[in-house]
Amino acid sequence: MAANGDNGREKDRPPARTGLRFFLSHPAHWVSLGLGSGLLRPGPGTWGTALAWAIFVALAPAGATDPATALVVVALALIVGTWAVEHTAAMLGEADPSTIVVDEMVAFWLVLVLLPAGDHVFRLQAVAFVLFRFFDIAKPPPIRVIDRRWKNAVGVMADDLVAALYTLLVIALAMRFM
């Protein structure tokens, strides 16, 4: 046993590389890699966000996007996503690998659930998509602070939730003054 109390395997094992084999190796990877969308290049976060949007639209006819139901689903996805990020990030040996996209997915679902319904819902969702990706990539404060300082699964999820809040704030202000 190593002097620090572990058996040394974690330090001796090279970080796993993402790919199909890694993706299929554990259910946490299915979740954290956004059903594989995190393996797409370029811009895995954008692919994950697009998949989240597609899933939301696909579930709308089934009533799964009813705000009360959807908020419960988003809360559960946040819990499961945090668990999955913790497991996958540990396997990859990185705090926030770009292949992990469940954070974008959960945060964008929150945006979609809280957007007002109406005649122009698709256009509003498209604007929300662009704004969310902008805030997630640009990382204005406090997103950047969370991203740099919270090097754990909670931080991975939290910075995207703040990007979601910024997105909703900009849309609310735009609708108020238009």
Who's near 162: CB < 8 A, 6+ residues apart? Answer: 135, 142, 143, 146
Which percentage of the chain shows pLDDT scores above 90? 71
The tokens describing 68, both together, are 């009360």
What pLDDT is recorded for position 82?
A: 98
User: How is residue 110 written in tokens?
Assistant: 């929150």
DSSP-derived letter for residue 14 is: P
Q: Where are the beta strands (DSSP E) in the chain?
A: none
Average pLDDT, the chain: 88
pLDDT higher than threshold 90 for residue 173: yes
CA-to-CA distance for 138 and 16, rounded, in angstroms? 28
pLDDT at position 10: 42
- Global confidence as pTM: 0.86
pLDDT in tens, 5-57: 444 334 434 455 778 888 888 999 999 999 999 999 999 999 999 999 999 99
What local confidence, expressed as pLDDT, does residue 76 receive? 97
User: Predicted confidence band at 66 (pLDDT cuts at 50, 70, 90)?
Assistant: confident
Q: Measured in whole angstroms, how far is the alpha carbon of residue 169 from the centre of its chain?
A: 19
Q: Which amino acid is at 166?
A: Y
pLDDT of amino acid 46: 98
pLDDT at site 106: 98
For residues 133 and 63, the model is more confident at 133
